[in-house]
Chains A and B, each alone.
Chain A
Amino acid sequence: MNLWQGLAPSQLIVLAVLVPFVGALLVAATGKKPNLREAVTLVTAVTLFTVVMGITDLTLQGTPISLHIIDIFPGLSIQFDVEPLGVLFALVASFLWIVTSVYAVGYMRGNNEGNQTRFFFCFAFSISSVMAICFSGNLLTLFVFYEVLTLATYPLVTHAGNDAAKQGGRTYLGILLSTSICFLLFAIVGTYSLTGTLEFKPGGVFDDTHNKAIMGLLLVLFSFGIGKAALMPFHRWLPAAMVAPTPVSALLHAVAVVKAGVFSILKVAVYVFGIDGLSELTATDFVLYMAAATMVIASIIALTKDNLKARLAYSTVAQLSYIVLGAMLATTAGAIGGAMHIATHAFGKITLFFVAGAIYTTAHKKLVSELDGIGKRMPLTMAAFTIGAISMIGLPPAAGFISKWYLLLGALDVGQWVAVIALVLSTLLNAAYFIPIIYAAYFKQEKAGHHDTHGEASLPILIPLLITAAMTLLVFFNPDLPLALAKQMLEVSP
């Protein structure tokens, strides 16, 4: 459904990147009138979603969309090219921005947070960078907006302005900038030196004449250089970023920033190395083992965390490795699973984070051990939590089941037993750290001495989390759209 029929396809890209940016400027301008400012954010988010819907339409029809901006170096330009994986990511991000904006309004007002204008401004600006990443046409453009995203989200992470926020910000910026400058940029320049191009091509840009050892080295550099994918040992920024307000953790660190990371890895895997090219490198197995290790270790750490947001953070680290694993399986099913997981994990995780924020705002509780009996006071909220948890564990009828299915298929296809074992272990561990929370919430008595009188969260907080929980179920029953895009990415007929 394309509301923007009258426009040329390349102008849609311009809109996709500019609409949130202009929205950010308008937010800054209307800062003195909070209601007007919130309305600006919502209108911008809805507009962006319609633009992305239009781009989706055109992509499913097979219309190519591209836009050349400027040559930064001779022969290397800022270039946008729409392809199915980017569309999938853009759809998820733009839809969830609408929902998160509503939530953020409720959260920021409910907690009397300061500097709200700066918050909404940086939020919109970050989404603009995300859109630019989605539609990047070459590695240079991807790198440019990847760095811009890091810098744009820094004020959001350090929003509180206190010492803890500053420390968290240091870890965040330190790890992300170090990995992107030392490894990712190195890998990009190395790729350029070796092949003379940075374009994304289905099937990869390397051919048989290139030295396999160097290609392997580049793959490793890419995987660790894309720090936003939180592969161990460069994952520490994620828990550190939990000092941010929950809407930030929810959208950015469960959806936008981390998905930008795994999206980049998938893109590099499919369009720079090529699925077939990957299967010929030994480095692919190395990265796969690292992903499997991250999956298991992060899940074990999550078990030990009492702080709910910290537990969810480590859960995210583990879930991101699913996508990296999918990419490194070097099979069609694996890549499809990875791409699907971008969508399914997003809906599930954002629900969980929304619940965490709802509990904090309404009941002022942060720790898992404090959640006994809360299901009686906040039944709807915890129902949403249950759905999100089921999606993480990977059981029907939640969306996480579909992506896990494809990942397992892919792993079995190539006999990658390490991957299979890791996936199974991780499923069990997920159950181990989520189910006790649900059980405690619904079936345990509230601790004596807690005289809470709260009920459900306020509407602006409650409705978004119900919507995302519903989407988690919906995508299970109707996965056609994301599946079609994932398959189109690999040029597999649907």
Chain B
Amino acid sequence: MNHVLDYYNYWIVVFLMMSGFYIVISANNLVKKIVGLNIFQTSVFMLYISMGKVSGGTAPIVVEGVTQYSNPLPHVLILTAIVVGVATTAVGLSLIVRIKRAYGTVEENEFENKDDAI
């Protein structure tokens, strides 16, 4: 039982990661794939941030009289990763707009039929 409760953050990460990954692979609608990708990436953010928390530590801003701070580095890393994720989502969604314009649909099985197989 301790195993589950002590590491609850990792369980959440695993759950989100697998859900996101599954959605990416199995979804037919391209927008859903992007959603899945976002969930997948979010799980990684949770992994980093939750690992940065030090027990009993406070937010990493220097304050008089406080000696324990959480690790600020993962926060910085994740800010960068979030930006990367946003950019990826933006590119993905704009691609979807163009696909919709070109094919008239964003369902994968429909536009695959419209092209010759390469």
Indicate if A touches B (C-beta under 8 A). no
Contact surface of B with A, Cβ cutoff 8 Å: none
Contact surface of A with B, Cβ cutoff 8 Å: none
